[in-house]
Structure 1
Amino acid sequence: MIVRLLLILLGVATLGVASRVLLPTEEVSVTGNRHLSEAEIRERTGLKPGTPWLWAWPYKLKALQSDPWVKQVRLERPKAGKLRIVLAERQPVATLVRGDQRQGLAADGTFLPGAPLVKPVLEGVGVVPVRDLLVLIQTFPQVQKISFNPAGYSLEWEGVRVWGPNIMELQRWAQGSRMSASTQTVTSTATGTLMVSVYSWGVSQRQ
């Protein structure tokens, strides 16, 4: 019985060594990456040419799954000796600026460190109202800058600055301004910028 057990263990050990020598990984390809480089992905997963192909399991992707830039990742084996890492990366839809620090904001509310500058620029004080900001970005696709504080939100784009106490009033104004723009009152000033203040009782504008 002991001899048989030893033979089984020896066979398993031999198979393990053989899998490393006889079937190494010949190629590791990466698709879907834009922010993360292929070299960085291979380094973080440990999946490189020469590593045992049979020992390449999805747990190797844990380092990528915890990265905020990575929305989804999977490991494929298109053929013997070849591995393919398939990523779906998050992309910034805005840029949050706090002091001298800057990071991207993805559509699902994830913050992305090291992101390139993407407008609108988000600035403000206090807790970042992520959900509200994402709603405003969707409601006003032309917006270039959004400022926030406990009193409300200020939105800016070419020739226009709009302030509102909450996203509900701003959404109502956005819908109403498209439907009945002729009912708005405009006063000219030297700035040439249309200044809009949205309240629950109505709209104040000056230009």
Structure 2
Amino acid sequence: MRWLAYIVILLVITVLLGSRLYPEARSLEVSGNKFLTDTEVLKLAGLKQGQPLLWVNPWTLRKLAKSPWISRAHILRDWPERKIYIEVWERQPLATDGTNVWAKDGTILANTHAQVLPDLVQVTGWGESRIDESLDLIRLLAEYEPKVLSYTPEGFEIQLARTVVLTPSVQDLKNQWSGFLGHTGNRISVYAWGVSIDNE
């Protein structure tokens, strides 16, 4: 088995020496990022100026994919210019309960910058967590600018830009969707049999 160890060592040395012979990256360019800084993206990718272009490979994308903020990424090596382009598609923060921040797809986003929080839907509630249903409601009502969502074991209250909606569940609201659309601008209570309006 000693000969196999020699082969492995030789291959490692060959790769390391070969990578040093390849052109080094003169510059790095990040695009598509709104919530992560360029520095954060490069750190996640493990890239820095001066690295051999050969070191940029599919493993680099896997490193980026480990971040909950990045849904996908694309990397391009410009050999003549010795430049690396990194384009990322970030998950969009949607809601927060003051402790956690959730993306539109339900992913929990760590280390959210404080300046982002006021623009998110504020979620409060008690009893068993209903966060999955809450996110479904927020996505369903996105066009109507949800601001605050509160839940209890009995149901949900959602404060929209011009309307307040009370519904026992997501499905009940979907079932009475036409009634909701016909009374936006009011306080709407949703029931299995229909909707009621309270203008006070």
Task: Indicate the TM-score class for this superposition, using the shorter chain for normalisation.
Answer: 0.7 to 0.9
Q: How far is 1:201 from its partner?
A: 3.1
Could you report, residue by residue, the CA deviation over 1:5-39 in whole angstroms, capped at 9, with x for unpaired residues? x9xx9899567425415522222221211122112
> Highest CA radius of gyration, 1 or 2?
1
Residue 129 of structure 1 aligns with which residue? Answer: 131
In the superposition, relative to structure 1, how do residues 10 and 172 fare at CA in structure 2: closer, same or farther (>3 Å)? closer
Q: What is the distance in 2 between the residues matched to 1:15 and 1:165?
A: 62
Picking from 106, 111, 115, the partner of 2:108 is 111
Which aligned pairs between 1:26-41 and structure 2 lie closer than 5 A? 26-41=26-41
RMSD (Å) for aligned C-alpha atoms: 2.9
Q: Note if contact 2:100-2:108 (Cα within 8 Å) is conserved in structure 1.
A: no
- How many pairs are equivalent? 183
Larger strand proportion, structure 1 or 2? 1
Question: TM-score by structure 2 length?
Answer: 0.75
In the superposition, relative to structure 1, how do residues 199 and 85 fare at CA in structure 2: closer, same or farther (>3 Å)? same
Q: What is the distance in 2 between the residues matched to 1:70 and 1:196?
A: 37
Q: What is the distance in 2 between the residues matched to 1:164 and 1:151?
A: 9
In the superposition, relative to structure 1, how do residues 146 and 20 fare at CA in structure 2: closer, same or farther (>3 Å)? same
Any unmatched runs of 5+ in structure 1?
1-5, 182-192
Letter in 1 for 2:154: A
Picking from 148, 162, 179, the partner of 1:145 is 148
In the superposition, relative to structure 1, how do residues 112 and 18 fare at CA in structure 2: closer, same or farther (>3 Å)? closer
Q: How far is 1:69 from its partner?
A: 0.5
Q: What is the distance in 2 between the residues matched to 1:176 and 1:195?
A: 12
Runs of 4+ in structure 1 over 6 Å off: 9-12
The answer to whether the aligner puts 1:197 opposite 2:197 as a matched pair is no
In the superposition, relative to structure 1, how do residues 178 and 53 fare at CA in structure 2: closer, same or farther (>3 Å)? closer
Letter in 2 for 1:42: L
The answer to whether the aligner puts 1:53 opposite 2:45 as a matched pair is no
Any unmatched runs of 5+ in structure 2?
1-5
Q: What is the distance in 1 between the residues matched to 2:193 and 2:15?
A: 78
In the superposition, relative to structure 1, how do residues 55 and 203 fare at CA in structure 2: closer, same or farther (>3 Å)? closer
Q: What is the distance in 2 between the residues matched to 1:14 and 1:124?
A: 59
What secondary structure is seen at the aligned counterpart in 2 of 1:35?
A: coil
Residue 190 of structure 1 aligns with which residue? Answer: none
Letter in 1 for 2:26: E
